Amino acid sequence: MRINKFLAEQGIASRRGCDELVAEGRVKINGKTAKAGDDVSASDSVELDGKTLSHKVKYEYYLLNKPKGCVCTVSDEKDRKTVMDFLPAGAGRVFPVGRLDYDTEGMLILTNDGDLAYRLTAPKNEIPKTYLVRIEGTVTDQQLNRLRAGVEIERGVVTKKCKINVTETNKAYTKLQVVLTEGKNREIRKLFEAVGKNVNFLKRIKIGELTLTGLDRGAVRKLSQEEVFYLQNL
């Protein structure tokens, strides 16, 4: 097993985050500083910051209805509230799968299952994620078609095609439902900025067909075995 996968399954961070830990020289395998791409087996001793890690892992899966005003990290150097603060007492060492920015709310999965985290976030898998969006003012069909086709949100960065439907509109605001199959940083906000529109509400409501039904803002629950199986096979 690759060292980044082993660390991710410990609930330490995503695979990418674990690659960074290895690059920083904080991981040792059998007393030697680990390198990217190293493999580990059940007979190997693995340490992180001097602490020996167990090879026995019990996977945990949580669903959080993230509120605004917290960050999707395990810890925060600015001492802001994190999504970890919403987990129940006794929860294992899990990490958030992907990110919702500070002012975005809605569906967030937390787990120590590195394979599932990778499946849900890898762009090549094109897992659909549905968002409720509210923008200031109105939007034209021409602008919507431009967004659906993909726009440049940064120099050389073009979004994939997406689904966008208007659900309510008046002079003051427009509500829309947006389905993305990728997860670029602040993608929806940048999408609408590309056509001169400001997003003032953003909530993720679905991953695939998994919904937040019955889960209040700030509430968290364990995923059922059926839900985990569904996500593993998306």
Residue 90 has pLDDT above 80, yes or no: yes
How many Cβ atoms sit within 10 Å of the Cβ of residue 120?
A: 21
Q: At 42, is the pLDDT very low, low, confident or very high (cuts 50, 70, 90)?
A: confident
Name the percent of the chain lying above pLDDT 70.
100
Residue 75 has pLDDT above 90, yes or no: no
| Nearest residue to 182 (alpha-carbon basis) of 98, 91, 67, 82 | 98
| Nearest residue to 233 (alpha-carbon basis) of 120, 131, 132 | 120
Separation between Cα atoms, residue 11 and residue 60, nearest integer Å: 9
Separation between Cα atoms, residue 34 and residue 40, nearest integer Å: 10
pLDDT: which is higher, 141 or 234: 141
pLDDT in tens, 91-125: 888 999 988 999 999 999 999 888 899 899 988 99
pLDDT in tens, 149-180: 999 998 888 999 999 999 999 999 999 999 99
Q: Answer yes or no: 101 catalytic.
A: yes
pLDDT in tens, 10-23: 777 778 888 999 99
Fold for 61-123+213-232, please state it. Answer: Alpha-Beta Plaits (3.30.70)
The single residue of 44, 85, 101, 216 carrying the catalytic annotation is 101
Summary mean pLDDT of the chain:
92
Name the percent of the chain lying above pLDDT 90.
74
Separation between Cα atoms, residue 26 and residue 170, nearest integer Å: 54
List the CATH code of the domain at 3-52. 3.10.290.10
Q: Tell me which CATH homologous superfamily contains domain 128-207.
A: Pseudouridine synthase (3.30.2350.10)
What is the chain's Cα-based Rg? 20
Domain residue ranges in the chain: 3-52, 61-123+213-232, 128-207
- The pLDDT of residue 11 is 72
- The pLDDT of residue 61 is 96
- The pLDDT of residue 57 is 76
